[in-house]
Structure formats: C-alpha cells, structure tokens
A and B are shown apart, each in its own frame.
Chain A
C-alpha cells in the first residue's frame, strides 16, 4: 500500500496569516494518463470530510481561492493564503492512484 505522510501534524495559526501543510507519498502519484491522483480534504469539527483540491491542484467547486494545492510526483503542499476562523479542522491528503486509496494521518489546524 502507498503510505501517505503529513507534516506538521498540528498547526496553530493567527487569523489572516498563511499556513502550509506538506504531504508526501511513498510512490509517485502521477498516472500515465498525465493526471496526479492526490486529493486534499478538510474535516471541520463534527462534520464529514469536504473536498478542497483534486488532482493535486484543482480547486473544487465552491472552495475559496485562498486554498491552493501544488506539487508533483511524491511531494505535495496545501497552502492557505490567509487563514480564517472557519478553516479550523483536520486536513487530510489522500491518494487514489492505487487500490487501496490511502489517507495521510491528518493535520489539525486551530486558531491562535
């Protein structure tokens, strides 16, 4: 199975400041079709996961443009340009290039 790691595992951010989360996979997530099968989710407290970014860098419908995804191969980053109070929760990366899809351990983000 592909192992997904995330750093840091927790993050405390001042509102209005940027934040960045790293995700690394044990194998390349670049498919021969040219797509990169890396997703980012946010699970707000008491809610189900919501998709933020698909295919490493495609912002999902309705996701604010302060969220951006980048990276390739095995190294990926989620950036929040200016953190807002509603961004608190646990962020997960997930790969789906190989079965079983696997998730990172999650990064807990809270507000200072």
Chain B
C-alpha cells in the first residue's frame, strides 16, 4: 500500500521559513518523481514543484509563484521528500500535498502564514 505522510506544517509569520517533510512507503521511492501541490482554503489545486529521480537527473522544477523562495529536495536513504519554504507570505497559506508523481497524494500539511 502506498503511503505518503506529510509533516511540519504550522503557523508562521510573513517573512519566516518552514520545512515540510513527506515520508513515503509502499513503492520504490528512489525511482519515483515526486511532487508538491497546494490548495488554498476554499480554492482549487495548484502545482508547486517536482523533483525527478536521481537516475533521471534529480532535476527540480518550480511554479513561478514559489521559484526562488521554495526548495524541493529528497533523501532517498530515508524515503523522504522535503519542501523548504522561505520568505513566506499570506498567499502561501494552504494545505500542501506531496505526491508520487501524479498517482497518489498524501493527506496534506497545513501551512498558515499570518501576522
């Protein structure tokens, strides 16, 4: 069974940083392309970024609104995906989901940015 469990969400002030983690199991993490999408309260789904497998180059792509502020990384030895978020604004308030490519999604981690 594929499991994706996000953690690290919370309440932060504008300008602060936060790191989300996604613990993966039930599939071969090392060969998976992993993604983050987010959903602002009451809104639709927005792609945040994706990291390819190391065997495919480990390339990372980001959505324009987060490029330069967010960093996606992975630790294949721990089957864990990360999302490092900095210079957070109220516009980043959302539920953040990690995904196994575009097939499975976790239950999400809530990030609230408010003064």
Contact = CB atoms under 8 A, between A and B. Distances in A.
Interface of A: 39, 41, 43, 47-51, 54, 60, 90, 92, 94, 96, 99-106
Contacts of B64: 100
B105 A49 contact: yes
Top 4 A-B residue pairs of the complex, sorted by shortest distance between their CB atoms: A48-B105, A103-B45, A101-B47, A99-B61
Nearest to B101: A96
Contact of B45 (A47, A51, A54, A94): A94
Nearest to B4: A48
Given A49-B97, A100-B64, A101-B102, A106 B107 contact: no
Nearest to B64: A100
Interface of B: 35, 44-47, 50, 61, 63-64, 97, 102-108
A105 B42 CA distance: 12
Nearest to A60: B103
A65 B104 CA distance: 19
Contact of A100 (B44, B61, B108): B61
Given A100-B61, A100-B63, A51 B104 contact: yes
Nearest to B107: A48
A71 B2 CA distance: 29
A102 B47 contact: yes
A91 to B, nearest CB: 11
B106 A48 contact: yes
